[in-house]
Structure 1
Amino acid sequence: MTEWKEFSVSINSEASDAVAAIFDDLGTSGVSIVDRNDFLTLPEYGIDTLWELDENKFPLEGVIIKGYFNDHVDLKEVEENLISRINNLPEYGISLSHFHLDVLDVKEDDWANAWKKYYYPVGVTRFLTIVPQWETYEKRFDDERLLYLDPGLAFGTGTHPTTQLCLQALEMTIRKGHTVFDVGTGSGVLSIASVLLGAETVQAYDLDEVAVRSARDNIKLNGLEEAIDVRANNLLKGIEEQADIVVANILAEIILPFIADAYANVKDGGLFITSGIISEKRDAVISELKSNHFEIIQVNQMNDWVVIIAKKLSKEEEG
Structure 2
Amino acid sequence: MKWSEISIHTTQEAVEPISNILHEAGASGVVIEDPEDLVKERTSVYGEIYQLDPNDYPEEGVIVKAYLPVTSFLGETVEEIKVGINNLITYDIDLGHNRVSISEVNEEEWATAWKKYYKPVKISEKITITPTWEDYEPVSSDEVIIELDPGMAFGTGTHPTTVMCLQAIEKYITQGDHVIDVGTGSGVLSIAAAQLGAANVEAFDLDEVAVTSARLNVKLNKVASTVTVGQNNLLEGIEGPVDVIVGNLLAEIILLFVPDAARVLKKDGYFITSGIIQGKKNDVKQSLLQAGFEIVETLEMEDWVAIIAKNSADTKEG
Q: TM-score range by the shorter chain?
A: over 0.9
Task: Output one character per residue of 1:157-214: Cα deviation in whole Å (capped at 9) or x when no partner.
Answer: 8610000010001011110001110111110000001111111111000011011110
Distance, in Å, in 2 between the alignment partners of 1:3 and 1:285 is 43
In the TM superposition, what is the alpha-carbon distance from 1:38 to its structure 2 partner? 2.5
- Structure 2 gaps of 5+ residues are none
In the TM superposition, what is the alpha-carbon distance from 1:57 to its structure 2 partner? 3.1
Whether the 8 Å contact between 1:158 and 1:189 is mirrored in structure 2 is no
Matched, 1:200 2:199: yes
Whether the 8 Å contact between 1:48 and 1:123 is mirrored in structure 2 is yes
Distance, in Å, in 2 between the alignment partners of 1:211 and 1:12 is 23
Whether the 8 Å contact between 1:115 and 1:152 is mirrored in structure 2 is no
Matched, 1:17 2:13: no
Distance, in Å, in 1 between the alignment partners of 2:47 and 2:299 is 24
Query: What corresponds to 1:281 in structure 2?
Result: 280
In the TM superposition, what is the alpha-carbon distance from 1:72 to its structure 2 partner? 3.1
In the TM superposition, what is the alpha-carbon distance from 1:79 to its structure 2 partner? 1.6
Matched position secondary structure for 2:238: coil
Q: Which amino acid aligns with 2:199?
A: E
Deviates more, 1:57-66 or 1:192-201: 57-66
Whether the 8 Å contact between 2:23 and 2:152 is mirrored in structure 1 is no
Matched position secondary structure for 1:104: strand
Matched position secondary structure for 2:32: strand
Query: What corresponds to 2:223 in structure 1?
Result: 224
Distance, in Å, in 1 between the alignment partners of 2:210 and 2:144 is 24
In the TM superposition, what is the alpha-carbon distance from 1:156 to its structure 2 partner? 6.6
Query: What corresponds to 1:132 in structure 2?
Result: 131
Q: Which amino acid aligns with 1:97?
A: G
How does the TM-score come out when normalised to structure 2?
A: 0.92
Backbone CA RMSD of aligned residues: 2.2
The 5 Å alignment of 1:282-301 reads 282-301=281-300
In the TM superposition, what is the alpha-carbon distance from 1:281 to its structure 2 partner? 0.9
Query: What corresponds to 1:94 in structure 2?
Result: 93
How does the TM-score come out when normalised to structure 1?
A: 0.92
Distance, in Å, in 1 between the alignment partners of 2:226 and 2:41 is 30
In the TM superposition, what is the alpha-carbon distance from 1:44 to its structure 2 partner? 7.0
In the TM superposition, what is the alpha-carbon distance from 1:114 to its structure 2 partner? 1.8
Count the aligned residue pairs. 315
Query: What corresponds to 1:160 in structure 2?
Result: 159
Query: What corresponds to 1:6 in structure 2?
Result: 5
In the TM superposition, what is the alpha-carbon distance from 1:90 to its structure 2 partner? 2.0
Deviates more, 1:117-126 or 1:150-159: 150-159
| Pair 213,189 (structure 1): closer, same or farther in 2 beyond 3 Å | same
| Pair 158,183 (structure 1): closer, same or farther in 2 beyond 3 Å | farther
Matched position secondary structure for 1:96: coil
Matched, 1:188 2:187: yes
Query: What corresponds to 1:113 in structure 2?
Result: 112
Matched, 1:39 2:38: yes
Matched position secondary structure for 2:273: strand
- Structure 1 gaps of 5+ residues are none
Matched position secondary structure for 1:125: coil
| Pair 51,80 (structure 1): closer, same or farther in 2 beyond 3 Å | farther
Q: Which amino acid aligns with 1:40?
A: V
Deviates more, 1:222-231 or 1:77-86: 77-86
Query: What corresponds to 1:258 in structure 2?
Result: 257
Q: Which amino acid aligns with 2:291?
A: N
Query: What corresponds to 2:171 in structure 1?
Result: 172
Task: Output one character per residue of 1:103-157: Cα deviation in whole Å (capped at 9) or x when no partner.
Answer: 1111111111123334322211110111211222221111111111112243578
In the TM superposition, what is the alpha-carbon distance from 1:49 to its structure 2 partner? 4.9
In the TM superposition, what is the alpha-carbon distance from 1:258 to its structure 2 partner? 1.6
Matched, 1:149 2:148: yes
Distance, in Å, in 1 between the alignment partners of 2:127 and 2:179 is 18
Instruction: Considering fraction of residues, name the structure with more helix.
Output: 1
